[in-house]
Structure 1
Amino acid sequence: MQEQIITKTLSFSVLGLPIHLLDNYPGWLIAQLHQQLGGHVITLNAEMTMQAEKNAKLAEIIQQADLVIPDGSGVVLYLWLKGKKVRRCPGIELAETLLLYAGQLSKPMPVFFFGGAPEVAAKAAEMWQQRCPKLAIAGTQHGYLSTEEELTLHQTLKEQQPAVILVGLGVPRQELWIAENRHLCPKAIWIGVGGSLDIWAGTKSRAPAWFRENHLEWLYRLYQEPWRWRRMLALPQFAWKALLSNFSPK
């Protein structure tokens, strides 16, 4: 419980949404796992922040999340403008740290991969099984489910009780799905990982280091997925609101 108190004490507002400022996000999650406290992790970026302005349910879920990390460069720059010198914590890297940790334990902490197109979750899990032979895979499921398949997934999660559940359904669908279903595995860490499953499966590639280090990962994603251009309009909107907020009282 002490870790939860620390997290809430170190929260900060990004355009009305919470962000938790910790030196060691993986350490917090590992402590949650060992104490079987579970939790919902939100990887906040500019696009999600702007979506939350129009989606009250998404905003509510972010407000109630156990851990909200600064995933996007826009969020990090916003915090810098407010005098909070934080480092970006990409959700894919946080998830990878957890998977590497779980793969080294003598006592299994099973992981479930859910989302993506057919075969993507299975390929992502296969890649991780090869990388970490001791990693316990509780199961996989693609994200295009019928009503019957959805009910089967619910039953599988209830029976398996994985320790970590990685959900790649895209924003805001993955956040809404986690909030609706996390009661199935209350001791699990639930993380919305977006397109991470595709990267692990090899169907997409992550931006090269230079793009990531220079806050241009969004540009590489636009190059890979030009259909995202409408969604990318949230970035200048967020930047404008961030600049305006800097002239208001902190």
Structure 2
Amino acid sequence: MFKPPQMFSVLGIPVHVMSNYPGWLLECLQHSIGTHVVTLNAEMTMQAERNQALAQVIQNAELVIPDGAGVVLYLRWLFWQKVQRCPGIELSESLLQQIGQQQPDTKLFFYGGTPGVVAQAAEFWQQQIPKLNIVGTNSGYHTPEEEELLKQRLTELQPQLIFVGLGVPRQELWIAQNRHLCPQAIWIGVGGSFDIWSGIKTRAPAWLGNNNLEWLYRLYQEPWRWRRMLALPEFVVKAFIYRLTARGAI
């Protein structure tokens, strides 16, 4: 069996470091190993400090990737790791591309986003990679009765790769509560990826991402997020304290 990824701690929250996340997940698919993937950034780390349920879900996840620039810089600064940022949207896109080439029979399901958007996102990928086997979509807006029907669909379909775009922490908690429905699936919380794939929103220019400033572009697009962005300076302060006290190893 393949090696488990190396694990470090970011303010007490685990994060896994490896050179090939998509390849590792493709092996999980081949061996039918159920996996919850968490895309960790500074904001989620701060949320986990205040939300014990979220912290426990991240602790239990099989793969926690360094999605945010703050997490990456923390690992480089404290642990001297040559780690590269792995945005969740890029991991998901790489998986879809490789599945289309290597495992086109893999059953995919997209859940989340506003009505119509998730279907547009699925249609985009179906056009990009016609061989993809997208067996279903469902928006994140529904009644409790409709959610029960969604769970029945998942149980019947047994998709092997499930993207959940409900936002943090709702998507992480939902996955943890419902992954038993498809125990051999890979579940990934993809945040606002459906909006980007559907064309509703755009990603930051590459030069911003390369300079760890993608958060600034997101704030430009969604100025209402400014309160949430306060988690970033808080993260920096706590990281500095952890560095001085030499804490952080798992």
TM-score when normalising by structure 2: 0.96
Does the 8 A contact of 1:61 with 1:179 survive in 2? yes
Shift in Å at residue 118 of structure 1? Answer: 0.4
- Letter of the 2:206 counterpart: A
Provide the secondary structure at the position in 2 that maps to 1:134: coil
Partner of 1:6 in structure 2? Answer: 4
Give the counterpart of 1:133 among 130, 144, 149.
130
1:248–1:227: structure 2 CA closer, same or farther, 3 Å change rule?
Answer: same
Shift in Å at residue 246 of structure 1? Answer: 1.2
1:99–1:107: structure 2 CA closer, same or farther, 3 Å change rule?
Answer: closer
Q: Deviation string for 1:142-198 (max 9, x for gaps)? A: 001101110000000001111100000000000000000000001110000000010
Shift in Å at residue 110 of structure 1? Answer: 1.2
- Give distance in 1, aligned partners of 2:104 and 2:132: 10
Kindly tell me the number of residue pairs found equivalent between the two proteins.
Answer: 246
- Give distance in 1, aligned partners of 2:86 and 2:95: 13
Partner of 2:68 in structure 1? Answer: 72
- Letter of the 1:214 counterpart: N
Provide the secondary structure at the position in 2 that maps to 1:74: helix
Give the counterpart of 1:112 among 103, 109, 113.
109
Partner of 1:25 in structure 2? Answer: 21
Shift in Å at residue 105 of structure 1? Answer: 3.6
CA RMSD of aligned residues (A): 1.0
- Give distance in 2, aligned partners of 1:85 and 1:105: 29
- Give distance in 2, aligned partners of 1:38 and 1:225: 34
Partner of 1:149 in structure 2? Answer: 146
- Give distance in 1, aligned partners of 2:91 and 2:106: 16
Does the 8 A contact of 2:104 with 2:132 survive in 1? no
Structure 1: 5+ residue stretches without partners: none
Partner of 1:101 in structure 2? Answer: 98
- Letter of the 1:142 counterpart: S
Q: Deviation string for 1:87-141 (max 9, x for gaps)? A: 0000000000111112224650011000000001100000000000000001000
Partner of 2:53 in structure 1? Answer: 57
Does the 8 A contact of 2:11 with 2:239 survive in 1? yes
Give the counterpart of 1:41 among 33, 37, 40.
37
Partner of 1:175 in structure 2? Answer: 172
Q: Percent of aligned positions with the same letter in both sequences? A: 63
Provide the secondary structure at the position in 1 that maps to 2:238: helix
Provide the secondary structure at the position in 2 that maps to 1:171: coil
Does the 8 A contact of 1:45 with 1:71 survive in 2? yes
Provide the secondary structure at the position in 1 that maps to 2:101: coil
- Letter of the 1:116 counterpart: G
Shift in Å at residue 38 of structure 1? Answer: 1.8
Partner of 1:203 in structure 2? Answer: 200
Provide the secondary structure at the position in 2 that maps to 1:99: helix
